[in-house]
Structure 1
Amino acid sequence: MGLAIALASLAATADVRAGVLEIDDSGHVRRFDSPTQFLGSAAEARPIAPSPKIATAPPRDRRAAVALVDAAATRHGLSPELLRSIARRESGLNPVARSPKGATGLMQLMPGTARDLGVDARDPAANADGGARYFQALLARYDGDIVKALAAYNAGPRAVDRHGGPPPYAETRAYVDAILERMAQSVAPRPQSPVRIAP
């Protein structure tokens, strides 16, 4: 049975790719540069459609948005980098972003979620705080399982509960992969030259 090591990859462009090395018991290495699903002892690379382009906030607004998100994360005991990664994926750190489904603001809160949280989703500070509280609640619901919590933030807790984990939606898989890649990139950047493993 091979050992799979996930490497982070975050290109300077909006194109985000997974980087996975599979190292089997004899030391042979295979590389996958797209999200990879492991089936038993074999790995199959399955490309996932990229997410639609997100209109990002201007640089000055983006700095203010980052400050709001970081403050909300710290206030609620979350990693600022994690909550920032969610906000980037959700809205491109655009405090006035609105999705076709009606999600609003930095953390793309749906009207019902904002109502349950008691926040005005149009207020950037309240939106960031509400998103932090909501993600914290999802982490508690799934006993700290960050993959399930991220999937639930994207697809809803009912979908995660119904499937016993992240649902098999291309959008949700791409969402979770992109955020985990960004987090991994922050602690272990991808080397500029190819990784070579001596025989």
Structure 2
Amino acid sequence: MATLISGLRGALAFLPARRVGPVLLAGFALAVGSAGAVAPNSLPGDLHELVEQAVALEHGEGVPRDPSRAADLYCEAARAGSAEAMYSLGWMYANGRGVARDDAYAATLFEMALAKGHVGAEKARSMVGEYTGVVPDCLLPRAADRGFAARDSWDTRKYLASLPEHKKKVVEMITTLAPRFSIEPRLALAIATTESNFDPGATSPKNAMGVMQLIPETASRFNVKDSYDPVQNIKGGLAYLRWLLAYYQGNVALAVAGYNAGEGAVDRYRGVPPYKETQNYVRRILAFFQRNDHPFDARVVAASPALQALKAAGQ
């Protein structure tokens, strides 16, 4: 076993890290992580150095061994998108080194690394049991990043209880995954119910697919390989919604109009496009969500130039 672990840990691969805001990287890596492995030195210097420090602390290479501190550094790098850090932290949980042993956490971290193209993660993933999506606390959005959590006291459990059994699993996925993308569950549910009524197999005449009705271009943009896989589809839709909320600086009407008609149409019309379908869509979402603003992370993307022009004109 020790030989296998050593061999797996030696088969490391990195992808360029992308700092896309205070979101749980489990969601980010599985939804929008790039595919394919590249050389370790392609990481940004500060992130590469962070991982190297963690490796040194984990193994006592040139510094006193400190597995607990190593786990903290790996987690910080994992949040920033390092496949190596995800993989290494997974092994720490799998072996109870510096952290309490937890195979479920290890499975999630290996799944994250695998989604980012890590060449050793697939074998590691097969050794730790079923993937459930649970994550260690260090990967949860920090308190300062979770302003949205206190904004909406809507009872998701009561809503879930009101649904027929065949919809509950998908709704549970959405309510679990939405906070990982810094999105309030009620807004995510409003999108999903309006788009597909929670049907993973739904296909529109415009070839929009799955729970969140992703067209092929959007699926490709957010690295969704199988639009009919509900987890991939939901994560792709949430990643897009998070992007739109940042692009329109938390303006829910513009963000959901962009989700329906595309941000190009919203920018072109400098507001909700004059399409009956889109206007009805926005009204339905707002009736369910019941708020016109939503917290957003400005680090995800620069604000829409059209939105900036509207603000400059005092509209």
TM-score (norm 1): 0.62
Query: Which amino acid is 1:125 matched to?
Result: V
Match of residue 163 from structure 1: 269
Match of residue 217 from structure 2: 112
The count of corresponding residues between Structure 1 and Structure 2 is 128
Match of residue 66 from structure 1: 171
C-alpha contact 1:61 1:94 (8 A) present in aligned 2? no
Query: Which amino acid is 1:175 matched to?
Result: Y
Q: Which structure has more helix as a fraction of its residues?
A: 2
Q: Whose RCO is larger (CA < 8 A, sep 6+)?
A: 1
- Per-residue displacement from partner, 1:113-135 (whole Å, max 9, x unpaired)? 10111112111011011100100
C-alpha contact 1:93 1:106 (8 A) present in aligned 2? yes
Return the index of the structure with the highest Cα Rg: 2
Q: Give structure 2 stretches of 5+ with no counterpart.
A: 1-162, 292-315
Matched, 1:139 2:245: yes
Match of residue 92 from structure 1: 197
Matched, 1:122 2:122: no
Counterparts of 1:146-185 in structure 2, within 5 Å, are 146-184=252-290
- Per-residue displacement from partner, 1:65-117 (whole Å, max 9, x unpaired)? 10111122111110001100110000011111110110001100001110111
Q: Give structure 1 stretches of 5+ with no counterpart.
A: 1-57, 186-199
**Separation in structure 2 between the aligned mates of residue 124 and residue 131 of structure 1, nearest angstrom:** 10
**Separation in structure 2 between the aligned mates of residue 74 and residue 143 of structure 1, nearest angstrom:** 18
Identity %: 44
Provide the aligned C-alpha RMSD in A.
1.4
Query: Which amino acid is 1:128 matched to?
Result: I
TM-score (norm 2): 0.40
Query: Which amino acid is 2:221 matched to?
Result: D
Query: Which amino acid is 2:217 matched to?
Result: G
**Separation in structure 1 between the aligned mates of residue 240 and residue 269 of structure 2, nearest angstrom:** 21
Matched, 1:83 2:188: yes
SS at match of 2:256: helix
Q: Runs in 1 of length 4+ with deviation above 3 angstroms?
A: none
**Separation in structure 1 between the aligned mates of residue 247 and residue 290 of structure 2, nearest angstrom:** 24
**Separation in structure 2 between the aligned mates of residue 96 and residue 132 of structure 1, nearest angstrom:** 18
